[in-house]
Amino acid sequence: MTARGVRTKARIVAAAADLMRVKGVDATTMDDVRAASGTSKSQIYHHYRDKTELVRDVIEFVGDRVISRETDSLGHVSTLNGLRRWRDSLVKANDLRHGAYGCALGALAGDVADHDEAARAALSRLFRGWAKLISEALVRMQNRGNLKPDADPDYLADGLLAALQGGYLLAQTAGDAAPMARALDMSLDYIATLSATSR
């Protein structure tokens, strides 16, 4: 692919990601993407035979953004206070939208995971990567003596990520980030009971 072709494809994917975040996958048409990306119909179909192919690239695009953000946020966390700051950042960003649109990856999972096996597998891999970042932060807490050695970081990471995703959904339906904050607080409060200094 030429450099121009790479830029055109990237523009198509970015536009599709923005549209699908707001409108949903089903309601976003290829014509919508063409108009939003400023490309022609021939350019769209040069890169994508159909919307299914485009959605799969959108998943990778959104996933890369989310994992990059979470790597920056969690990459050096090694204390419960660090996890609470991570929680605060996510809740604040969601509160600015009054809970609207939920999690970008979660929304895609809800739209396509049940009827596109390749998309489901890609989303599963991305969520596993996200949980691994949380688990690695918990391992660092253990290594620093901030979490009991018999605590299971993978188990806790799965629970915390599930609370986050459920919190996004409840905040979206409530139009308020408060349910998301409560879900994360309950998970973090449980992790606090496993602190090496707790009794």
Distance CA(69)–CA(73), nearest Å, equals 6
The model's pTM is 0.93
Among 101, 154, 106, CA closest to 127 = 106
Per-residue pLDDT reduced to its tens digit, 1-51:
789 889 999 999 999 999 999 999 999 999 999 999 999 999 999 999 999
Q: Cα(first)–Cα(last) distance of the chain, in Å?
A: 61
Mean predicted confidence (pLDDT) in 120-133: 98
Per-residue pLDDT reduced to its tens digit, 50-77:
999 999 999 999 999 999 999 999 999 9
Q: Is the pLDDT of residue 90 over 90?
A: yes
1 and 82 together in one domain:
no
Distance CA(169)–CA(194), nearest Å, equals 27
Q: How many contiguous H segments (helices) and E segments (strands) does the chain have?
A: 9, 0
pLDDT at 199: 45
16 and 107 together in one domain:
no
Q: What is the CATH number of the domain that holds 4?
A: 1.10.10.60
Q: Is the dihedral of CA 39, 45, 48, 54 positive or negative?
A: positive
45 and 59 together in one domain:
no
Is the CB of residue 130 less than 8 Å from the CB of residue 161?
yes
| 199 located within any domain | no
Local confidence band at 198 (pLDDT 50, 70, 90 cut-offs): low
Distance CA(88)–CA(105), nearest Å, equals 19
Q: Token pair for residue 19?
A: 């549209």
Instruction: Give the structural domain span for 1.
Output: 1-49
95 and 138 together in one domain:
yes
Per-residue pLDDT reduced to its tens digit, 140-190:
999 999 999 999 999 999 999 999 999 999 999 999 999 999 999 999 999
Looking at 32, 49, 66, the residue that finishes a domain is: 49
Give the amino acid at 53.
E
| 125 located within any domain | yes
63 and 25 together in one domain:
no
147 and 163 together in one domain:
yes
pLDDT at 8: 95
Overall number of domains in the chain: 2
